[in-house]
Structure 1
């Protein structure tokens, strides 16, 4: 296995322990419109941009008749106006994932280029990153509201754009993800993908839904750090 030309990192659920909090925010927002979200539905929202999540939640609410079609149907903007304040409050002090800071410092020490590839918008990334200055080790970033981004995860565009900004082939990159949408996007871009297994609600990722490609399921981020040091002879 060759060493990576670059490492491409997801943020939520991979570097920061935010996914359960995002799920809570969507659940509370849906409840204000008379709906409920199942653990399976919350998992489906992971790794996606907020606008895409809102559209998906609205479709679920309408299907359950919690938000029936009317002269003034529930809009993405209206749902986000409720969900975003809840999300900001919950995410104010989201902790780092175990081993995240050490992994980024390892990449920096080994001079491995890095990029952040997240569905979160710039304002949300700045807010969540503020308590974690070590995230500044990643200077190249593709965010959910990036003007050069055509489609978000699960499309391959975010990882292709990140690789292009680093000047490397996506196929020579390692992508680190925790969601089905993110892993699907990275595999579609041709990356070697490391999927961090979640310890949260539900039965985990539906791995059978992943497209063909080179991926490895891991339980801890230090497993990747060990491989990087081994390949570097460090």
Structure 2
């Protein structure tokens, strides 16, 4: 008697939110070719994105910033605040050199962002990373932009007030999360096991009231634990 094959993981459910039909069609054609990704809906504006998120419960919303009726930032905030959608991750589409909304989007609950001119492989990677619960903040220029806006908008804020709830180890972990390190990399840097590093990350996230690692990155910049790249 042969052993039964392990059940395959369900495909990543993606909701497309963009007011340009050609953009949505291009994304759908690409994503429909992937066995582990399925498109569950499309929205032409932010209000529709919120409604579709409630109806389809996607794993990832690919969200444009500039849309009519409700922009991507407002839609992201509504999705993040909706009961039952806590596990929905929003991946913002942005143009790094013109958007001043990146920090607002992450603060609203986005899990990361992708440049609108990204190639197919980069888009697929971004969706899988965000669906897995990680933050997508890799492009150096975009990370610098986050740091600039975070520091500018919170210059009068006292870091100690925000960080007082953390232990010294949790502060170290927060700084490393802000630098984009994974749990394995944090563990190696602090001579901890990956599971112990993950525990510290989870505890810091809970104490700070952060939705996910992306918001921890923003907090790391806000409080000065990570400085904007020059």
TM-score for both structures, normalised by structure 2: 0.31
Structure with the greater relative contact order (CA < 8 A, sep ≥ 6): 1 or 2? 1
TM-score for both structures, normalised by structure 1: 0.31
